[in-house]
Amino acid sequence: MSNSMVELDLSNIGELNREVRALIPSLVNSLDDDKSKSKLNITIEFKRMKDSETAIVTGYSLKPVYPKRAQNILCRRDLVGNLHTEADSFRQMNLPLHEDNKQEA
């Protein structure tokens, strides 16, 4: 029984190609306007196995980065520390994050 070997490239590093192809639509669909951007960081790591001159463990990781989304809502804390917010009335408000950005009511 012989093992057939092929030269390593991006198409045969585990499921890298399949996973990248699966992430591309969600990254593209996350773009709201011409100012937003998304990224896909791919890291490929090589590590020589202990006690071997020829065996290399090759791995990868993917990190999708989506455009930042932010929203603030008004919450109130009860006596035991639980947070509560009004069902719908405060969700549409654009509240400042810092005190120096106060909006006039």
Question: Tokens 């993917």 appear where?
Answer: 62
Distance CA 18, CA 97 (A): 40
For residue range 20-77, list pLDDT tens digits in order: 999 999 999 999 888 899 999 999 999 999 999 999 999 999 999 999 888 788 888 9
pLDDT at 96 over 80: no
Confidence of residue 92 (pLDDT cuts 50, 70, 90): low
For residue range 76-88, list pLDDT tens digits in order: 898 998 888 877 6
Whether residue 59 is contained in a domain is answered as: yes
Let me know: does 21 contact 40? Beta carbons within 8 Å.
no
How far from 98 is each of 72, 73, 92, 95, 101, CA to CA, in Å?
11, 13, 18, 9, 6
Residue 50 belongs to what domain range? 10-65
Whether residue 20 is contained in a domain is answered as: yes
pTM summary value: 0.62
| Number of independent structural domains in the chain | 1
Instruction: With CA atoms as reference, report the closest residue to 67 among 35, 25, 23.
Output: 35
Whether residue 29 is contained in a domain is answered as: yes
